[in-house]
């Protein structure tokens, strides 16, 4: 029996392919194979002999079957390995292209700002970009011929001959949205209004179109101190720092009184802005308490309601936060610029995950 | 507005430093734009004494000096002719920066002899142009700071110049006195008493003045003047010239310099006529239009109708309140001068100023508003100054019109001030502030000083109190949300839709551009715009003359710029307004996408192919789907003229509501826009997609069948003009319950197809997916649906199954 075992295990180990293995299987454990024949002989044996030989033969059969299966898998693996070797590819070749678009910094920063103010309970108001001069000026306490009007470098729309209305303007600021929002909603109100604004100015640091975001909060007892807190919270959230320091400086805007320009404590290191530290002060926005005349023009009683308004340049915020040097490039659509300064479609600013990556 | 420190000290008794003053000014709302402090560049230099001066062994003109300094004796080589023993000099030591020669000194060797610094001339320290020798000081101790010595002994040479920005509400700060008053109110010193003068006239004024009846209202309130005869004009004294130069004005002559002095000192523009050139009397009147005058700047101005001017008996001699005429201007030869002080209507000055485009100091002040009550005192003070500088004898003062009464008072509600500002400013402090600014308090009524035309209500009092109290001290105070708890979403449905469209486009591989809202007329015209109603009256250039009718021309211009930079494959998009007309409501939101060149770079896999109309369609559909457009849409063909007539379509809901247009752009349009095509694009109108009626978040239950779906393919031969959508819709209609979807998977057309199927024919192949709902389909049932599909398609398209 040991011979038999030896013979077949050697044969199995030496089998070169599946056909040879099958021949061995038939010869060894097939119906008429040597092991089967031996098993048939069991009937002729004495019960004692049978008790010894039976288990031995069964064990031999199992052993041969296991060896066959193992050899079969080994042969299969070897064949697969051979095949896989021939299937070599140069994986250093480039991958198939996947499109990757970008979001413009103006859109991204607008979403960042609205996300912060939404959390503070401000909704988003809108208004037209071709605006009546009443909404853009008169209602904002800038009467015709007032020197303040000259400071806006206003674009005027053409008027047909015979049309005696004052010409419409391209809105010079987002402030007319204050008027429209208050006329529509009355008080109390908390809105911000982002959008395009226009001034006839084009040089190193000015473009004839840029973006502002207006803020307006009117209630019974809102003060300038509330304005300062709101802007501090905004700056802290927007620049994603733990501390900010703002400085209010008296200034003049016809539509607010008192008015203040707001500076942010910062430092410049290698052209990068660091907010909340350093000895520099950078002007970032204009603000103030809404002028009673503006409230009146908007149908809100200034004896009952008061509040603040502010206007921030969105493009400027983007330049400061993301270190973008040149305003004019914002509107040039240079593909290299769009890719370099743009944001991924999935970079949706949230309060939960943060505004930027 | 520029002024010097010494000028400020004429009005303000103060010991504050330039830096303290500058900080206070900015905080008060008079923002400092620049400080020029000559002392700053002198800070490192000290006084020294020349102990010994001997000829240089190898140079005739040089001297080897031993100079006593705060750091001991130093050997300095000097070429100045006045370098000699015993004089007190200014020493610049190695390491010092010398501004006039733009050099930082080091120990040097001159012809073999070491030199440890230099002794400076005035030019080398930028004190004057003097360079004939080194500075010799008449006093001073060795080691004393030269800056201190100058400040003490020659302050006029090192007078710091401060430049501030003036907001339109503060005409009073266009005079040094107004600035001093603000600083005094802040506590940076005491305002010196106002100067007054009363000069008695010695004879009646031979020149009479009148204001036309139609010119009083909205023209000239009051016009005063007097003749001063026998003056001697000439250069003004050095102190006055120095002041005017310091603030960037050119001294002209004593008479003219006096008027400029009052302009800056008291915000009081004045004018002087050479009386001998004035023919007859002076009359203030309105122009008819078309008259001309050569101004003091030697330029000719033509007047619009209704401008206010001053004429003598012959012609116009002065643009009232803006600029005098050249003919009657004062010269060195003037001996009789007529001095004018008037109060002009601010709006009229602004109008005439704009019409004549003159930006003079007088216009700037007269259109912002001067102090009318100072009109008469100004005549007296200016007369006094002219007589001091030029001599002469004054006439009586002649007056036309009346000084306007600008007196008014507003209630100071000190509680309201605290409530608005959010700072605890005590009531007494509030009252003190207003009084320091010249307000007169009567109970709680604050009477406004005549020099503050901007103060027109209670709110202005609040501002005055707040800015003097200093907003820098303001401490933020939390403003809780109006509603307690988790904040609500704030975006409107269309605002959300805009964001989704934008991010979908970026996810599809497009780069977002932000282009100008205005474009050139021709480009606007190519896209259905360019009408006069969308035109700007004052465009910044002809490239930006019309409001854009569509976003595509801006994107195409961007594409052309990128192509010029060598980027030929582009996927650009923009989300923004397009303009249908010139009224506020005539604009709408668009999303536009533009694909130019290949879909991908060349690669081994053949990914690159030209972007085609089906790319544009796919992207338009993806955006529509993302913003919630219904799946069932029509495709119309008649796209506007800027699209390829055969390769464009319009996605619509019904025949009227066009949601998007897509296709290839017309080759002629691309050519005109300078874009190397082909280019495909789409324009999409998010506002036209209907908003769902229900606002709930609940979805309908999923009706997923457990039964196996069956797919069957059909190929039809149809006329080449048959549109796939017609065929698909017909097939779909064969059994609306059973047919889940119909998709086209092959189109076989062109010459080969015609050879097989006949001229004018093509083949369209569709897959129909059947989804049984209650029991598995039998072969017979499948056959029956198939036959119905063939029948419906035949009926709708005339097509037959391909054999």
> CATH number, domain at B107?
2.40.50.140
Residue B694 domain flag: no
Count of Cβ atoms closer than 10 Å to residue A316 Cβ: 20
Closest to B374 (Cα-Cα) out of B218, B454, B262: B262
B57 in the same domain as B12 = no
Mutate to test the interface with B, among A137, A198, A245, A257 (most CBs of B within 10 A): A257
pLDDT of residue B64: 92
pLDDT for residue B153 is more than 90: no
pLDDT for residue A54 is more than 90: no
pLDDT of residue A102: 98
What DSSP line would sit under B724-752, residue for residue?
Answer: HHHHHHHHHTT-TTTEEEEEEEEEE-SHH
Number of structural domains found in chain B: 6
Residue B485 domain flag: no
Of A120, A336, A343, the CB nearest to B481: A120
pLDDT for residue B613 is more than 90: yes
Q: Show contacts of B61-67: CB within 8 Å, 24+ apart.
A: B62/B110, B62/B111, B64/B113, B65/B119, B67/B91, B67/B117, B67/B119
Instruction: Convert the pLDDT of each residue in A269-304 to its tens digit.
Output: 877 788 888 888 889 999 999 999 999 999 999 999
pLDDT of residue B409: 97
SS3 label, residue A324: coil
Q: CA of A25, closest CA in chain B: separation in Å?
A: 43
Q: Which residues of B189-198 are buried (b: 16+ CB within 10 A; e: fewer)?
A: bebeeeeeee
Query: What's the whole-number mean pLDDT along residues B456-470?
Result: 94
Mean pLDDT of chain B: 94
Residue B93 domain flag: yes
Residues of B in contact with A90 (CB under 8 A): none
SS3 label, residue B113: strand
Residues of B in contact with A236 (CB under 8 A): none
Residue B670 domain flag: yes
Q: With bands split at pLDDT 50, 70 and 90, how would you rate the model's confidence at A35?
A: confident
Of B466, B517, B603, the CB nearest to A129: B517
Q: Which residues of B678-701 are buried (b: 16+ CB within 10 A; e: fewer)?
A: bbbbbbbbbebbeeeeeeeeeeee
Residues of A in contact with B322 (CB under 8 A): none
B379 in the same domain as B339 = yes
CA angle B248, B250, B253 (to 5 degrees): 145
Looking at the DSSP bridge assignments, the partners of residue B663 are: B648, B681
Mean pLDDT of chain A: 92
- Using an 8 Å Cβ cutoff, are B607 and B599 in contact? yes
Q: What percent of chain B has pLDDT over 90?
A: 85
B595 in the same domain as B516 = yes
Better-predicted residue by pLDDT, B658 or B123:
B658
CA distance B225 to B282: 10
Residues of A in contact with B579 (CB under 8 A): 130
Better-predicted residue by pLDDT, B739 or B703:
B739
CA distance B314 to B684: 68
Closest to A215 (Cα-Cα) out of A125, A141, A320, A296: A125
- The reply to whether A257 sits in an annotated binding site is yes
> CATH number, domain at B649?
3.30.930.10
CA distance B602 to B609: 9
Residues of A in contact with B606 (CB under 8 A): none
Of A159, A208, A225, the CB nearest to B422: A225
CA distance B197 to B280: 29
- Using an 8 Å Cβ cutoff, are B41 and B125 in contact? yes
B299 in the same domain as B169 = no
CA distance B690 to B656: 13
> CATH number, domain at B744?
3.30.70.380
- Using an 8 Å Cβ cutoff, are B514 and A104 in contact? yes
- Using an 8 Å Cβ cutoff, are B154 and B239 in contact? no
Count of Cβ atoms closer than 10 Å to residue B101 Cβ: 15
Mutate to test the interface with B, among A251, A254, A285 (most CBs of B within 10 A): A251
Q: Residues 6 or more apart from B267 whose CB is under 8 A from it? A: B171, B172, B173, B174, B175, B177, B178, B365, B370, B371, B451
Phi and psi for A307 in degrees, rounded to 5?
A: 175, -175
Which residue carries 């290698």 as its tokens? A270
Sign of CA dihedral B10, B11, B14, B16: negative
Query: What's the whole-number mean pLDDT along residues B612-629?
Result: 97
Mutate to test the interface with A, among B501, B504, B513 (most CBs of A within 10 A): B513
Count of Cβ atoms closer than 10 Å to residue B746 Cβ: 11
B178 in the same domain as B117 = no
Count of Cβ atoms closer than 10 Å to residue B635 Cβ: 13
Joined tokens for residue B393: 């004898």
pLDDT for residue B478 is more than 90: yes
pLDDT of residue B154: 84
pLDDT for residue A338 is more than 80: yes
Give me the half-sphere count of Cα atoms (radius 13 Å) on the Cβ side of residue B460: 20
Residues of A in contact with B576 (CB under 8 A): 196
Sign of CA dihedral A151, A155, A160, A163: negative
Identify the closest residue of chain A to B589 by CA–CA distance: A128
Q: CA of B348, closest CA in chain A: separation in Å?
A: 9
B634 in the same domain as B737 = no
Query: What's the whole-number mean pLDDT along residues B397-418?
Result: 96
**Cross-chain Cβ contact B511/A114 below 8 Å:** no
ipTM of the complex: 0.90
Q: Residues 6 or more apart from A335 whose CB is under 8 A from it? A: B511, B562, B565, B567, B570
> CATH number, domain at B31?
3.30.56.10
**Cross-chain Cβ contact B350/A200 below 8 Å:** no
Residue B525 domain flag: yes
Residue B8 sits in which domain range?
2-37+160-191
pLDDT for residue B156 is more than 80: no
Closest to B231 (Cα-Cα) out of B258, B209, B267: B258
Better-predicted residue by pLDDT, A237 or B131:
A237
B370 in the same domain as B359 = yes
Q: Residues 6 or more apart from B609 whose CB is under 8 A from it? A: B598, B599, B600
Q: How far, in whole angstroms, is CA B662 from its chain's centroid? A: 38
- Using an 8 Å Cβ cutoff, are A231 and A247 in contact? no
Of B476, B513, B539, the CB nearest to A338: B513
**Cross-chain Cβ contact A250/B466 below 8 Å:** yes
Residue B665 domain flag: yes
Closest to A142 (Cα-Cα) out of B364, B422, B350, B363: B350
* A158 φψ region: left (φ > 0), alpha (ψ -120 to 50), beta (else): beta
B603 in the same domain as B569 = yes
Residue B202 domain flag: no
B640 in the same domain as B520 = yes
Instruction: Convert the pLDDT of each residue in B770-785 to its tens digit.
Output: 999 889 999 999 999 9
Q: Which residues of A166-187 are buried (b: 16+ CB within 10 A; e: fewer)?
A: ebbbbbbbbbbbbbbbbeebeb
Q: CA of A182, closest CA in chain B: separation in Å?
A: 17
Joined tokens for residue B31: 């923002």
Better-predicted residue by pLDDT, A269 or B214:
B214
- Using an 8 Å Cβ cutoff, are B663 and B685 in contact? no
Q: CA of B590, closest CA in chain A: separation in Å?
A: 14
B341 in the same domain as B255 = yes
**Cross-chain Cβ contact A102/B506 below 8 Å:** yes
B397 in the same domain as B275 = yes
SS3 label, residue B222: strand
pLDDT for residue B735 is more than 80: yes
Joined tokens for residue A181: 């929002």
Residues 256-285 (A) with a CB less than 8 A from some CB of B: 257-261
Please identify, among B350, B381, B401, the residue that sits at the C-terminal boundary of a domain: B401
**Cross-chain Cβ contact B517/A198 below 8 Å:** yes
Mutate to test the interface with B, among A130, A177, A202, A282 (most CBs of B within 10 A): A130
Residue B486 domain flag: no
pLDDT of residue A133: 93
In this structure, the strands spanning B511-512 and B570-579 are: parallel
Query: What's the whole-number mean pLDDT along residues A2-18?
Result: 87
pLDDT of residue A259: 95
pLDDT of residue A43: 82
- Using an 8 Å Cβ cutoff, are A301 and A295 in contact? yes
Q: CA of A156, closest CA in chain B: separation in Å?
A: 5
B180 in the same domain as B107 = no
Determine the length of chain B. Answer: 803
């Amino acid at each position: 029996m040991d011979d038999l075992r030896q013979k077949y295990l050697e044969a199995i180990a030496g089998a070169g392919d599946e056909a040879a293995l099958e021949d061995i299987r038939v010869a060894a454990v097939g119906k008429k194979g040597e092991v089967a024949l031996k098993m048939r002989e069991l009937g002729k044996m004495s019960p004692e002999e049978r008790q010894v030989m039976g288990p031995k033969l069964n064990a031999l059969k199992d052993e041969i079957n296991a060896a066959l299966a193992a050899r079969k898998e080994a042969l299969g693996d070897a064949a697969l390995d051979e095949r896989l070797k021939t299937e070599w590819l140069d994986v250093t070749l480039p991958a198939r292209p996947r499109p990757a678009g970008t979001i413009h910094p103006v859109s991204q920063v607008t979403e960042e700002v609205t996300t912060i103010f939404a959390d503070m309970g401000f909704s988003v108001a809108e208004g037209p970009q071709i605006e009546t001069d009443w909404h853009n000026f008169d209602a904002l306490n800038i009467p015709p011929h007032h020197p303040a009007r000259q400071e806006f470098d206003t674009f005027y729309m053409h008027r047909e001959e015979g049309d005696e209305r004052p010409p419409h303007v391209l809105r010079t600021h987002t402030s007319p949205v204050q008027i429209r929002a208050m006329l529509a909603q009355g008080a109390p109100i908390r809105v911000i209004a982002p959008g395009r604004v226009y001034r006839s100015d084009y040089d190193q640091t000015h473009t004839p179109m840029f973006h502002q975001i207006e803020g307006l909060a009117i209630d019974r007892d809102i003060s300038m101190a509330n304005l300062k807190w709101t802007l501090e919270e905004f700056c802290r959230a927007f620049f994603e720092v733990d501390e900010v320091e703002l400085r209010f400086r008296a200034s003049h805007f016809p539509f607010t009184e008192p008015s203040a320009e707001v500076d942010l404590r910062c430092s410049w290191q290698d052209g990068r802005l660091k907010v909340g530290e350093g000895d520099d002060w950078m002007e970032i926005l204009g603000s103030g308490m809404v002028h009673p005349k503006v409230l009146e023009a908007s149908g809100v009683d200034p004896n009952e309601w008061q509040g603040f308004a502010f206007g921030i340049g969105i493009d400027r915020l983007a330049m400061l936060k993301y270190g973008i040097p040149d305003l004019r490039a914002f509107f040039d659509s240079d593909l290299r610029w769009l890719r370099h300064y743009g944001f991924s479609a999935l970079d949706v600013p949230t309060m939960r995950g943060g505004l930027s990556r | 507005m520029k002024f010097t420190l010494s000028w400020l000290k004429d009005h303000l008794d103060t010991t504050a430093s330039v830096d303290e003053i500058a900080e206070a000014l900015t905080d008060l709302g008079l923002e400092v734009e620049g400080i020029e402090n000559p002392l700053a560049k002198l800070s490192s230099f000290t006084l020294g004494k020349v102990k010994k001066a001997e000829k240089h062994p190898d140079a005739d003109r040089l001297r080897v000096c031993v100079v006593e300094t705060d750091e001991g004796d130093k050997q300095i080589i000097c070429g100045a002719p006045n370098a000699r023993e015993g004089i007190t000099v200014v020493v610049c030591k190695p390491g010092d920066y010398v501004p006039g020669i733009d050099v930082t000194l080091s120990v040097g060797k001159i012809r073999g002899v070491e030199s440890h610094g230099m002794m400076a001339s005035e030019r080398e320290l930028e004190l004057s142009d003097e360079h004939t020798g080194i500075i010799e000081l008449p006093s001073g101790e060795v080691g004393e700071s030269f800056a201190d010595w100058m400040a003490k002994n020659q302050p006029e040479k090192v007078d710091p110049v401060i430049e501030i920005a003036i907001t339109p509400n503060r005409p009073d700060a266009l005079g040094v006195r107004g600035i001093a008053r603000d600083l005094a109110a802040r506590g940076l010193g005491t305002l010196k008493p106002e100067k007054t003068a009363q000069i008695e006239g010695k004879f009646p004024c031979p020149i009479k003045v009148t204001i036309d009846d139609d010119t009083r209202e909205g023209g000239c309130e009051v016009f005063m003047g007097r003749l001063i005869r026998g003056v001697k004009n000439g250069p003004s004294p050095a102190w006055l010239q120095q002041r005017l130069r310091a603030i960037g004005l050119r001294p002209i002559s004593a008479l003219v310099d006096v008027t400029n002095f009052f302009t800056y000192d008291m915000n009081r523009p004045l004018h002087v006529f050479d009386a001998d050139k004035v023919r007859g009397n002076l009359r203030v009147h309105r122009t008819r239009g078309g008259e001309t005058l050569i101004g003091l700047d030697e330029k000719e101005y033509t007047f619009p109708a209704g401008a206010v001017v001053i004429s003598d008996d012959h012609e116009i001699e002065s643009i009232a309140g803006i600029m005098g005429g050249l003919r009657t201007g004062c010269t060195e030869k003037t001996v009789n001068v007529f001095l004018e002080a008037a109060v002009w209507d601010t709006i009229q000055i602004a109008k005439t100023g704009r019409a004549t485009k003159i930006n003079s100091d007088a216009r700037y002040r007269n259109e912002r508003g001067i102090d009318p009550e100072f009109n008469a005192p100004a005549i007296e003070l200016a007369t006094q100054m002219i007589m001091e500088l030029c001599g002469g004898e004054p006439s009586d003062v002649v007056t036309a019109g009346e000084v306007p009464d600008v007196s008014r008072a507003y209630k100071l509600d000190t509680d309201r001030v605290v409530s608005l500002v959010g700072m605890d400013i005590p009531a007494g402090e509030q009252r003190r502030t207003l009084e320091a600014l010249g307000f007169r308090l009567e109970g709680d009524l604050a009477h406004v000083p005549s020099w503050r035309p901007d103060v027109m209500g209670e709110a202005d009092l609040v501002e005055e109190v707040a800015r003097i109290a200093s907003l820098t001290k303001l401490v933020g105070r939390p403003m809780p949300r109006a509603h307690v708890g988790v904040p609500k979403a704030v975006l409107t449905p269309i605002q959300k839709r805009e964001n989704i469209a934008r991010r979908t486009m970026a996810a599809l591989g497009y780069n977002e551009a932000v282009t100008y809202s205005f474009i050139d007329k021709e480009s606007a015209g190519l896209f259905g715009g360019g009408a006069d109603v969308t035109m700007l009256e004052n465009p910044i250039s002809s490239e930006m003359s019309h409001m854009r009718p569509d976003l595509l021309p801006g994107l195409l211009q961007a594409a052309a710029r990128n192509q010029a930079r060598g980027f030929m494959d582009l996927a650009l998009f923009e989300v923004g307004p397009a303009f249908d007309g010139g009224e506020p409501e005539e604009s709408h939101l668009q999303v536009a996408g533009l694909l130019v060149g290949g879909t991908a770079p060349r690669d081994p896999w053949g990914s690159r192919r030209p972007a085609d109309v089906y790319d544009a369609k796919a992207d338009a559909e993806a955006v529509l789907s993302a913003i919630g457009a219904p799946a069932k849409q029509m495709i119309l063909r008649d796209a506007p003229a800027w699209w390829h007539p055969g390769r464009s379509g319009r996605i619509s809901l019904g025949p009227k509501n066009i949601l998007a247009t897509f296709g290839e752009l017309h080759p002629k349009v691309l050519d005109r826009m300078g874009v190397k095509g082909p280019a495909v694009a789409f324009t999409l109108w998010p506002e036209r997609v209907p908003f769902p009626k229900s606002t709930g978040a609940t979805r309908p239950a999923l009706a997923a069948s457990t039964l196996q779906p069956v797919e069957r393919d059909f190929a039809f031969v149809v006329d080449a003009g048959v549109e796939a959508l017609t065929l698909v819709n017909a097939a779909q209609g064969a059994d609306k319950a059973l047919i889940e979807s119909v998709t086209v998977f092959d189109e076989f057309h062109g010459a080969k197809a015609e050879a097989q199927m006949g001229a004018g024919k093509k083949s369209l192949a569709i897959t129909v997916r059947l989804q049984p709902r209650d029991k598995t389909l039998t072969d017979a049932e499948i056959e029956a649906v198939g036959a119905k599909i063939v029948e419906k398609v035949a009926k709708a398209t005339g097509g037959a199954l391909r054999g």
